[in-house]
Amino acid sequence: MPINKTGAAALRPVLDEQFASEQQAHSHMLEAMGRLAGSVAHDFNNVLTAIIGFSELLLLELPSDSESRRDALQIKTAADRASLLTKQLLAFSRRQIMCPILVDLNALIVDAEPLLRRAVDSRVHIRTVLEVPLPDVYADPSQLEQVLLNLVVNAGDAMPDGGVVTIETGVVTAGESYTARVEGMPPGQYICVSVSDTGQGMDCEMRNRIFEPYFTTKASGVGLGLSTVYGVVRQSDGHVWLNSERGVGTTFKVFLPAATRSTITASPCVALPDGGTETILIVEDETAVRDVARTMLQRRGYTVLVAADGEQAVRASAQFADRIDLLLTDVVLPHTNGRVVAEQVRAARPDISVLYMSGYSADTVLSQGFVAEGVQLLEKPFTESTLLSRVRKLLDARAAAPIHES
């Protein structure tokens, strides 16, 4: 029986409320999955730190024509691939380390077009409709490029016989009509990047699961592409909206806040690796991570003290008569955390520099209160080059002017 206009008007609030409830439940489910994925990735990063580190040390020792060297290279290559998977899981859980700068999304799309065209079938045509001028966003450009690539590849896969992918940009002032449809989206000015296809579209079940990690309808692949999109956008204070119907096509809309002065902070810089003769105290409860970090530093001339927990660290500091230049401590330790350990060590050595390390991002450890804002954080898994770079940078800064972190 047809619904008249009066009946339709009465039904609309009910449907809107039902839609909002479904959106909220779906958002809460993704949040829970994100917390689980982040915890798994964090623990796995400790293992990968040891595998990558020791394989690098083996490669330095083995002759170039050695069969054992080829085996060690295979180990490192596999571990590097595993590291990329954990980064994707951390992206979904919004716990990866981001390096945000001001980004012109139009320029990013234009620069990425050659890569995007190579990533899809030759029968897929990519069309761009870019609004000019477009305000900048404050985000990690490499992560945004990955978001764009994943969305375009997904659109191409939905059109096995070819079709059109349309990438559009525009400025959106989000009022109630947007915030009611996009869970958790506050009113304000956003830059919208829309990726649409003319493909097969999705049914309700697929739409509800599309951002889940490891969910895929493809014959190959691990199903982390769209979950990465979701995590990167949410970690950038943005939102993702999806519209899709079977036989009609799919549109993903990414909303990123327009940059303001209050959103802009200084970006970290990376120094070249070098060795030294300073003394470093490592505090890490994972034996393999502790051993590989000690070996990497000792090989480059540093004197290294080690501790498995906060109590051992304080004792090692008290028993060592000479100067300790740097404390390298894990953020999460048994019965304590890196910040507490740093405070205890600094009580006797106020001029010591501190470098934290963690498999979580700075945002996560800050929000949990494990460290104070502005501290130096080394992401796991790290390579020998990255470790030496960060250590050398801190020690050189300390030599130029004593560091007093909170």
Per residue in 79-118, pLDDT (tens digit) is 777 766 666 555 544 445 556 788 899 999 998 898 888 8
Q: Residue 11 pLDDT more than 70?
A: no
The reply to whether 105 and 184 lie within a common domain is yes
Position 348 scores a pLDDT of: 94
- Report the alpha-carbon distance of residue 151 to residue 233 in Å, rounded: 12
In this prediction, residues 142-164 reach a mean pLDDT of 87
The reply to whether 289 and 384 lie within a common domain is yes
Q: Residue 51 pLDDT more than 50?
A: yes
The reply to whether 289 and 199 lie within a common domain is no
* pLDDT class of 229 with cuts at 50, 70, 90: confident
What domain range is 204 assigned to? 101-263
* CB-neighbour burial class of residue 162 (10 A; exposed 0-12, middle 13-18, buried 19+): middle
Give the rounded distance of the alpha carbon of 329 from its chain centre.
21
**Any bridge partners for residue 188, and if so which?**
174
Q: Phi, psi at residue 253, to the nearest 5°?
A: -115, 125
Is residue 17, in this structure, part of any structural domain at all?
yes
* 175 and 219 Cβ atoms separated by less than 8 Å: no
Contacts 24+ apart (CB under 8 A), 336-340: 336/309, 336/310, 337/370, 337/371, 338/283, 338/370, 338/371, 339/369, 339/370, 339/371, 339/372, 340/310
Looking from the CA of 194 toward its CB, the CA atoms found within 13 Å total: 20
CATH label of the domain that carries residue 316: 3.40.50.2300
What is the number of structural domains in the chain?
Answer: 3
In this prediction, residues 282-287 reach a mean pLDDT of 92
The token pair that represents 180 in the structure block: 């009611």
Is residue 208, in this structure, part of any structural domain at all?
yes
The reply to whether 175 and 107 lie within a common domain is yes
- Report the alpha-carbon distance of residue 202 to residue 346 in Å, rounded: 57
Q: Please state the length of the chain.
A: 406
Task: Read off the pTM.
Answer: 0.48
Higher local confidence (pLDDT), 362 or 195:
195
Q: Residues near 183 by Cβ (< 8 Å), separated by ≥ 6?
A: 20, 23, 24, 26, 27, 239
Q: Residue 228 pLDDT more than 80?
A: no
Higher local confidence (pLDDT), 228 or 296:
296
- Report the alpha-carbon distance of residue 280 to residue 290 in Å, rounded: 12
Q: Tell the residue number behind the tokens 């170039």, with chain if given.
A: 64
Is residue 362, in this structure, part of any structural domain at all?
yes
* pLDDT class of 167 with cuts at 50, 70, 90: very high
Q: Omega into 381 within 30° of 0, i.e. cis? A: yes
DSSP state of 220: S
